[in-house]
Amino acid sequence: MLAVMSSITALVLAAFVSYGGAWYIGLVEGNFALLLFLATVVTGVYWLAERLYFLPQRKRAAEQLQVSVTQRRSELSSQGLRTDEVDLDKARNSLLLQPWWLDWTAGLFPVIVVVFVLRSFLFEPFKIPSGSMIPTLMINDLILVNKFHYGVRLPVLNTKIFDNHSPERGDVMVFRYPPKPSLDYIKRVVGLPGDEVAYLNKKLSVNGKPLDKSALPEFFDEDALRYTKQYQEVAADGQRQYRILNEDDRPSFVQATEDFPFRENCRYSSEGVVCKVPPGHYFMMGDNRDNSLDSRFWGFVPEKNIVGKAFFVWMNFGNLKRIGGFD
C-alpha cells in the first residue's frame, strides 16, 4: 500500500513539475488559478487521508510496538534475564514519522489552502510588466489587487457569486485580456456600459463632455532618459484626479485595430476613435496614452473578465519610494 502511494505521488508531483516547466518555456499556455486550485484539491485529499487513515495507522503501530516491548521486558524480567536494550522512543518516532510523499502533499496543504483563499477571494499580487500605466504605475511595480471590491467570484470559473461595488470611471482595474483571457491586463476605466467615449486629437470626452485636463511639469522617464508632457485629468464623474502622459509627435489616429465583438459600436477616423460602450462592458485606457494597447485597439472588456481593483504598490526593488497607494 505504502509503495503504491509513493509511486502515485511521484507521478502526481512529476505532472505538476512538467506542467510548470512547459509553461515556463512557453510550450503550453499556463493557468495559475487552475494550477493552484488543483494543488489545493490534491494536497487536501492527502491531508484528509493522513488525518483519517495513515496517521491513526502509524499511531496504532507505535502503540503495538510499545505494548510488545513492555510485555517482552516483563517476561524476561520474571525469568531473571537481562532485558534487551531497545531504544523504544527512537523506534516509536520512526514509526510515527511522516513518509516523504505525505510530507510533500499533506504537509503543504495548510500553506497552499491559505494562499488559495487569499489569492482567490481577498488580494492577489501582480507585477507591472510594461509602461502603459506610467506615470501612475511604473515598470516592475509590485501591486496588490482587491479581489472582492467588484464582487466575490469563483476561482478558475470566474463566475460572480456575490455582488459588491460596480466599476467606476477612473478605477485602475485588472482584467483578463479579451483576445487572450489567460493574460491579465491593467488599465484605467474610462467608459461604463452605455457611455459614448470619444478620444479625438488626444482629447478624451465621455457622453459629449470633455474631461478637464490641466498641464503639469513634464515627466522624466528614467528608463528612456527623456521628458514627456504630463497632464492632470479629472474622471468624467468629477470625483477622481490622475496623471496622464501625451506625446506631441505621435499621431492621433488608432493604428492596426483588431476585429473584436461590438466593433460596429466604434467609428475610426484620422482624428481618433468614438465608441458606444455596450451593456455589460467597459472601455479601458492606459495613462500613458500614446504607449498603451487598450480598448481603442482590441475593444471592450466584458464584466465576466474583471479580476479586481488595483490599489497599492507594496514593493519596487529599484525604488522603495514607490511603495504606497495610488488613484
More confident site: 211 or 237: 211
- The secondary structure element, H or E, covering residue 327 is none
Give me the sign of the Cα torsion angle 143, 120, 113, 157: negative
Question: Residue 326 pLDDT more than 70?
Answer: yes
Average pLDDT of the residues in 70-97? 73
- Residue 317: exposed, middle, or buried by beta-carbon count in 10 A (0-12, 13-18, 19+)? exposed
Q: How confident is the model at residue 295 (pLDDT cuts 50, 70, 90)?
A: very high
The Cα angle at residue 49 between residues 101 and 157, in degrees rounded to 5: 90
Can you give the pLDDT at residue 263?
94
Q: For position 135, what pLDDT does the model report?
A: 95
What pLDDT is recorded for position 319? 87
pLDDT at 233 > cutoff 80: yes
Read off the pLDDT of each residue in 212-218 and give the average, rounded to a whole number. Answer: 94
Supply the pTM of this predicted model.
0.84
- Of residues 307 and 68, the one with the higher pLDDT is 307
pLDDT of residue 133: 97
- Using an 8 Å Cβ cutoff, are 35 and 19 in contact? yes
pLDDT, residue 229, reads 94
Please give the share of the chain, as a percent, with pLDDT higher than 90.
65
**8 Å CB contact between 280 and 102:** no
Catalytic hit among 120, 132, 292, 295? 132
The CATH number of the structural domain formed by 128-325 is 2.10.109.10
78-82, 186-190, 200-204, 208-212, range with the lowest pLDDT: 78-82
In tens, the pLDDT along 85-109 reads: 666 778 788 888 889 999 999 999 9
> Is pLDDT larger for residue 79 or for residue 287?
287
Distance CA 113, CA 262 (A): 40
pLDDT at 82 over 70: no
304 is catalytic: no
Cα 28 to Cα 14, 52, 190: the distances in Å are 16, 37, 33
Q: Which pLDDT score is estimated for 83?
A: 60
Grid coordinates belonging to 121: 477571494
Count CB-CB contacts under 10 A for residue 283: 30
pLDDT digits (tens, 9 = 90+) for 114-164: 999 999 999 999 999 999 999 999 999 999 999 999 999 888 888 888 899
At residue 239 the predicted structure's pLDDT band, cuts being 50, 70 and 90, is: confident
- Provide the β-strand partners of residue 53: none
* 132 is annotated as an active-site residue: yes
Residue 256, pLDDT > 70, answer no
Confidence of residue 30 (pLDDT cuts 50, 70, 90): confident
Catalytic residue among 120, 147, 187, 292: 187
Domain range list for the chain: 2-107, 128-325
Query: Starting from the edge strand earliest in sequence, which strands make up the sheet with 272-276, in order?
Result: 209-210, 203-206, 196-200, 272-276, 266-269
